[in-house]
Chains A and B, each alone.
Chain A
Amino acid sequence: MKTKFSGILTLFLAFVVQLTFAQEKTISGTISDENGLPLPGVNIIVKGTTTGTQSDFDGNYSINASTGDALSYSFIGYTTKEMTVGASNTISFAMEVDSEALEEVVITALGVERTAGQLTAATKVVDAEELTQAANPNVVQSLTGKVSGLKINTTNNGVNQTTRIVLRGNRSLTGNNQALIVIDGVISSANTLANLAPEIIASTNVIKGAGGSALYGSQGSNGVIIVTTKSGSSSEKIEVSINSSISFEDVAFVPERQTKYGQGWNGVHTSYENGGWGPEFDGTMQPVGLPQADGSYIMAPYSGDSDNIKEFFKTGTILQNGVTLSAGDKTGNVLLSVNNQQTEFVVEGDELNRTTVLFKGNKQLGKWNVGGNVTYNTSSVKTTTSNLFTELLQTASNVPVELFENSGNEGHWTSYYRNPYWMRDNIRNSSNTTRMNGVANIKYEVNDNINVVLNSSVRNFKSYTRNYTNEYIDTIGIGGGDHSTVSQFGQSNSEETNIYNDIFVNFDYMLTDDISLTALVGNNIQDNMYSATSVSGSNLTIPGYYNIDNITGRPNTFNSIERDRRFSLLGSLDLGYKDFLYLSVTGRNDWTSRLADDRNSFFYPSVGLSFVATNAFPGLKKGGILNYAKISGNWAKVGNDRVGPYQINSTLNQATGYPFGGLNSFVLDQTIADPLLVNEFIESYELNLNLAFFKGDRVRLDFSIYETKNTDLVTGITTSAASGLANTTVNVAASTTSGFEIDLGLTPIRTKDFRWDLDLNFATDKTVIDKISDNSDEVALAAFADVGIFATAGEEFPLIKGTAYQRDPQGRVLIDPSTGNPLKTGSFQVLGKSNPDYVVGLNTAVNYKGIRLAAVMDYRTGHQFWAGTKDWLSWSGHLVESADGGRRGFIFPNSAINTGTAANPVYEANTNVITGGTTYANYLDYFSNEYRSVSENFVLDATAFKVRELSLSYAFSKEMLKNVGLSSLRLGVNARNPFTVLPAENRGYADPEIGRSSGNDQGLSVTGQYPITRTYGMTLNLTF
């Protein structure tokens, strides 16, 4: 019996084995991606065995398996697929994108990472490639045009530019409206960001409204820009990358001046006049300027060239070079980056030399993750004064500017203003700054659900500046001109230290299978110290010796110390339901040292909700049109404590001129803050809609609409002099800011080799003042004699107001029949607003194999600005308008006369009353006085269309580089601000984006700013 059985068993076994062997076959096929294109590198494994292979470049594979075996196909970013081997020998299909895995992880407030679906606030990520595509050495400026709702104005258009960064409009009247800057998880400053080399930045995330930045408390009320620097690689070998770029910079345009009349006054030619009120150009050779050192005159044809002042400027260069070494493995990495920038500006002698060293490391040691970075940055800036451009503008168009380079003030082309070449060489400023930042990030995993995070940073900033002016004594004073200059010398030191410390406990739980909970509880401490000392004096005895011993008279001295601290407790709670519904709640309580004890604590809550419709109802995706739909909204209430340290103290100051010998005296401060000051409050509501259409998100639409109610605005109000004060800072005002942004992203063409991305963004914001104070409807932010920037109840903010022509009901200008002069309004009228109606931006990139062509441009309109340059050119006869009509009296166009009485006016069209008199001298008088005193003439349309960046680069492919030993090589050419189109009435007087201060009083474009420049350059990036 047993033998028979075992015999049958053996036979059976053999049969089965043979059956198995007989069924193993080769399975082959093609794997493609979601677009139908071949997907190389897919891992294919026979489940339960070690047999495996990968799909090749064409997506083809072949593997040995038997019928009934399960084959597993996996690839990063795609859902792993299982196929059972059946009768067929071919298995081909398309892999499906794993939407969850591909969702970007975005770093939000306090370094918390969120997926796009969980975000409840409008955010925009700008990646490193976009930031550096035009090699702009200033990271802040390379954000221009790339984020809807972000406006960047340049406030110092020289070799070392400073900027003003505002998200979504001006909420506060006189407080800070600039966005918060966070670098590597700690609060930093725009100054530090502008001095970072662009190459070391990994990503930039812009959170546009208070809804997303409520966790930063009162510092986050204006939105936040979160920057992360690069970390070392984890590829277990040392990577070296070298970045180099050279750019050439020249002046884009100068204000246009008339080319009909040359140097002179009252129609008489005077070779040393700055005014253009001379006789008409006739082309003959005429002397120009004062006699030169040898007694001769520089002769030049008496004809006009409106660009003659451009000759003063040269072509500047910007050189940027950097080396980055990085290394690491799965548990740790390290990065060292050294970058240098050298700029020579369009003005000879204006230079900037800046070096940044960044050392960054990170290591995972069991439950601890320790990381940190140290940045050391040193920069030296040498400049002259941009006021030389103000004096350079006082030049008639017949003057051959270049010929006066060595004439000094004695042989200058005018006796009334200084030679800009002399100013350039004799008015010098230099400043050296050193920045040292250290950041430590330590994380401890208590268990799978809880971890503790510590972020600490110390930032130290030291600055040393020195400036001098050499003396010039005008002994001759031809024509009553006197360009004497008093010599002067000054030096100052300042130091600032900021300490920032965060400590949180993070909780991460799945309450149920569907409900997730993340929470954060923490504390933040900040400590800021600032000190400054300066000394200066005038009338140097020995020329060229710049030391305080050399001053005659008493030196001016100054010293100051400031200290303030902040302490906060904060927490956030995020609940998620499955993968489509998320709730985010945050709360933060700030205590500040700057306000009185009984009112220095403020609570800032926020609530946000996000619903990803396409995850909740996957049926929406059927048909392949709608690929992603998310709706989110948030509400936040944050404060804005823009009261400075010590501001609420009532103090006295040393009186003017004291001490006189042994007599010292103090007088009351005329600017005082209400000792009962509290924080401003901003209550913000935001609704966002994010949609993506077609496979691969070929069409993306993001829409965000918001409104903020700003109350208790801290405003400096002019106080009645009868109270003894000049100015008081109180909480009185209120305003409402509203607007929306639309971002449309398109990828019209995407193939294996060719891809075209197009981003259109549209942003509009409007701030309307609801109230100024109980006693007044208006407060001036900045005011000159005839024009100013105001906040006026019921109007948009900021408002430009100034003197205007009196007009009849039909809008005709009223003329005084007895003098011929137009009548001017007594009080300031509304002349415009400095916030644009909307900004439209276009950001596009075309990639073909290794070639990348990108462009950034934008258009803004609906706003106005006061062109100080036009005012400055008016009285000296350089305006194009003043050269019309033969420079004799004229009938004012569209004007009227009151032929009735003041009580019963009867307005008739003016056909016979001449404005501007009958002689050349009368006309000159009219332009110098009447025309100039009406600011309406100088408030111009601020519309501008700018192409901001053009870049073309070629990245060599890996195959080409294999033999050279490089892992990547990219060459590029770029242009910054190549084209600017301004409306006809703005004859190059100013770029409306250049502001005179970084405060809220935007809209006054004063003289003393250099003209804007264009740059063209080349870049080289390689890694090995």
Chain B
Amino acid sequence: MRTKYKFLLLVIFAITVSCSDYLDVNKSPNSPSAEDVTPDLILAGAMSDTYRTQARRMNRLGNVMMNNWGANVNSFTGGFSEEFTLAIDNNFYNDLFTGLYRGTYNFQAIIDYDSADYDNHKAISKIMKSFYLQYVVDLYGDVPYFEAHQGIKNLTPAYDDDRAVYEELYNQVDEAIELIANAGLNTIPVGSEDVIFNGSMSSWVAFGNSLKLRLLLRQRTDATMNGDTESAAFIASKLPELQTAAFLNNNATINPGYSSESTAQQNPFYNYIGFSNNETTATGYNFYRASQYAVTFLINSADDRVNFLYDEADDGSGGVVGHEQGADSDNSPAGLSPIGPGLLIDSAQDGYIMTAAESLLMQSEAQLFGLIPGDPQASFEAAIDASFQLLGANRSGYTPSQPGVGWVGTDSDKFEAIMRQKWIATNGINAIESYIEFTRTGFPDDIPLALTAQSSTRPMRLMYPSDEYISNSANVPDQTSADVFATGPFWAQ
């Protein structure tokens, strides 16, 4: 009897155990799980994925808002209608918020990776995360930071004060530079997975310093214009170490190996604004056109860059012709200029995270106001040189002498000139930077709104995306479209 029961129990036990083995088939053979993937395998993808948002949508927003680009009204109706009318709602460029947060999630995964051997990778990730999250604060104001990027552990991160985030971003870059300086013998070197600087940690230090400078320069407006003493104290405490810092003086380019092999492998800017990977089928090339204001300004200042930023008018009538933003096809020229050969080269062209011109102009501004040592005019001229060189244009003959364009006049004029040159240097490349700087400084101050604009000023930031109101409604602040015209991030006046 007893043995019979034992046997029965054994059978039942066997069935139960084999039952759980039978059902143990749920590990995916198609995708690796987090334990299998080390930081060096994530870094490149993190960089190129997040760059897509910067090169395409952020760039496009900046170019339209700063009157660099218009629409080809001769072939398309309704182009840029929301941007021209300034009908801002929570769907307006909401992909900037989502794209930047989701892209930088991968940098967080590297930062959180549990190993002491990847300090260099972690340092690069900290710098890149701060680089992109600065744009998030600049475009939205108060945003989640300290509770962000936790994945399923926190689906509803709280919103943090923008100034606190800014200062933490600065500290993170400092920590990154320290990690690089103190990297031990076991630290795995960074190789080709660094698709920006190819593992050159000194370049990262320079880039980190330029980023710190940019954070301080923006925050400085809060101290000087808004009289915020805490900002002033923070800046004062950070300036000493920047006196001897090396800054970025070359273009920070990104190129994992862009090619025309498939649309996914093309340079994302080229694919968005230009052509498909057969180099002839237009994706955006037939739609984006020069804007009349930018063309007129560049021609009037004898700036050869106009022939590289824009091409000849598309009806073969010769010369560069721009579209007046908001005009319809009845009131526009028959031929308009598409985007030029300095910006659109081919599918394999480099992408620009930060141009040398941007970095040099920031140095010029800091030197002009005595924050760091050096000759502001030399930085200014070097920045213009770098911009001409990037586009392949001819610098000789460009000697602007008007105040606000060249290095003449009062300090205020020179400051305006820095912003004006920044506007030209970022045209088509990283125009969002110029738009943010405009919100900060008000320069260049003569750029017209579109004819159909329903507001007399540009928005100072974007509205929180509709996704946030759906998924994080308890934390996202209430907002009306009037708010984004009246107030900007903490550093705005």
Contacts and interface: CB of A to CB of B under 8 A. Distances in A.
Interface of A: 266, 473, 479-482, 484-486, 537-539, 552-556, 559-567, 591-594, 597, 600, 645-646, 648-658, 660-670, 672, 674-675, 717-726, 728, 775-776, 778-780, 785, 826-827, 875, 921, 924-925, 928-929
B105 interface: yes
Nearest to B109: A668
B26 A724 contact: no
A649 B29 CA distance: 11
Contacts of B115: none
Report which residue of B20, B23, B106, B330 has the largest number of chain A beta carbons within 10 angstroms of its beta carbon: B23
Q: Which of B262, B277, B330 gathers the greatest number of chain A CB atoms within 10 Å?
A: B262
B328 A925 contact: yes
A668 B106 contact: yes
A473 B105 CA distance: 41
B257 A724 contact: no
20 contacts: A479-B75, A552-B261, A552-B278, A553-B260, A553-B265, A567-B19, A593-B26, A648-B26, A650-B34, A651-B31, A652-B37, A656-B45, A660-B258, A663-B44, A665-B43, A665-B46, A719-B471, A720-B472, A721-B101, A724-B149
Contacts of A672: 151-152
B157 A722 contact: yes
Closest 6 CB pairs of A and B: A655-B45, A724-B105, A660-B257, A480-B75, A665-B45, A553-B261
A645 B32 CA distance: 15
B32 A652 contact: yes
A161 B151 CA distance: 40
Given A538-B262, A649-B26, A666-B41, A722 B277 contact: no
B378 interface: no
B474 interface: yes
Interface in B86-136: 89, 91, 97-99, 101-102, 104-106, 108-109
B22 interface: yes
B281 interface: yes
B28 to A, nearest CB: 4
B385 interface: no
A830 to B, nearest CB: 15
B264 A656 contact: yes
Interface in B458-474: 465-468, 470-474
Interface string B30-68: 111110010001111110110010000000000000000
A667 B103 CA distance: 9
Contact of A591 (B19, B75, B148, B282): B19
Contacts of B468: 720-722
Nearest to A553: B261
A929 B77 contact: yes
A721 B465 contact: yes
Contacts of A565: 22-23, 25
Contacts of B465: 721
B49 A721 contact: no
Interface residues of B, number: 90
Contact of A723 (B24, B31, B150): B150
Nearest to B347: A553
Contacts of B102: 670, 721, 724-726
A564 B264 contact: no
Contacts of B276: 486
Interface of B: 19-20, 22-34, 37, 41-46, 48-49, 52, 72, 74-75, 77-78, 81, 89, 91, 97-99, 101-102, 104-106, 108-109, 143-144, 147-152, 154-157, 192-193, 195, 256-266, 276-278, 280-282, 286, 328-330, 465-468, 470-475, 481
A556 to B, nearest CB: 6
Contact of A875 (B77, B151, B266): B77
A720 B45 contact: no
Do most interface residues of chain B lie in helix, strand or loop, or is the interface mixed? loop
Given A486-B278, A775-B471, A928-B77, A724 B37 contact: no
A775 B91 contact: no
Contacts of A717: 471
A266 B330 CA distance: 10
A658 B45 contact: yes
Contacts of B41: 664-666
Contacts of B262: 537-538, 553-556, 657
Q: Chain A CB within 10 Å — which of B46, B72, B102, B150 has the most?
A: B102
Contacts of A486: 276, 278, 281
B257 A723 contact: no
Contact of B42 (A563, A650, A652, A663): A652
Contacts of A718: 467, 470-471
Nearest to B143: A722
A666 B42 contact: yes
A655 B109 CA distance: 14
B155 A728 contact: yes
Most A CB atoms within 10 A — which of B26, B192, B329, B470? Answer: B26
Contact of B470 (A591, A597, A651, A779): A779
Nearest to A780: B470
Name which of B29, B49, B470 has the most chain A CB atoms within 10 A of its CB.
B470
Contacts of B264: 556, 656-657
Given A480-B75, A561-B29, A720 B23 contact: no
Given A479-B75, A482-B286, A563 B25 contact: yes
Contacts of A649: 26-28, 31, 33
Given A645-B26, A665-B45, A929-B77, A553 B31 contact: no
A776 B471 contact: yes
A555 B475 CA distance: 45
A553 to B, nearest CB: 4
Contact of B286 (A480, A653, A779, A780): A480
A674 B152 CA distance: 7
A775 B472 contact: yes
A287 to B, nearest CB: 21
Given A649-B27, A721-B102, A660 B78 contact: no
B24 to A, nearest CB: 7
Contacts of B470: 718, 776, 778-780
B20 A597 contact: yes
B48 A655 contact: yes
Nearest to B38: A666
Contacts of B474: 775
A728 B152 contact: yes
A474 B290 CA distance: 24
B208 to A, nearest CB: 22
A648 B148 CA distance: 22
B89 A826 contact: yes
Given A652-B33, A657-B262, A663-B192, 11 more contacts: A554-B262, A593-B26, A645-B28, A655-B44, A656-B49, A668-B106, A717-B471, A720-B475, A722-B147, A726-B98, A928-B78
Given A480-B74, A666-B32, A666-B37, A593 B109 contact: no
Contacts of A655: 44-46, 48-49
Contacts of A563: 25
Contacts of A721: 97-99, 101-102, 465, 467-468
A717 B156 CA distance: 12
A725 B282 contact: no
A725 B473 contact: no
A654 B459 CA distance: 37
Nearest to B36: A652
B9 to A, nearest CB: 17
B78 A723 contact: no
A604 to B, nearest CB: 17
Nearest to A528: B25
A473 B77 contact: no
A971 to B, nearest CB: 54
B22 A567 contact: yes
Contacts of B150: 723-724
A678 to B, nearest CB: 15
Contact of B471 (A556, A720, A875): A720
A665 B192 CA distance: 11
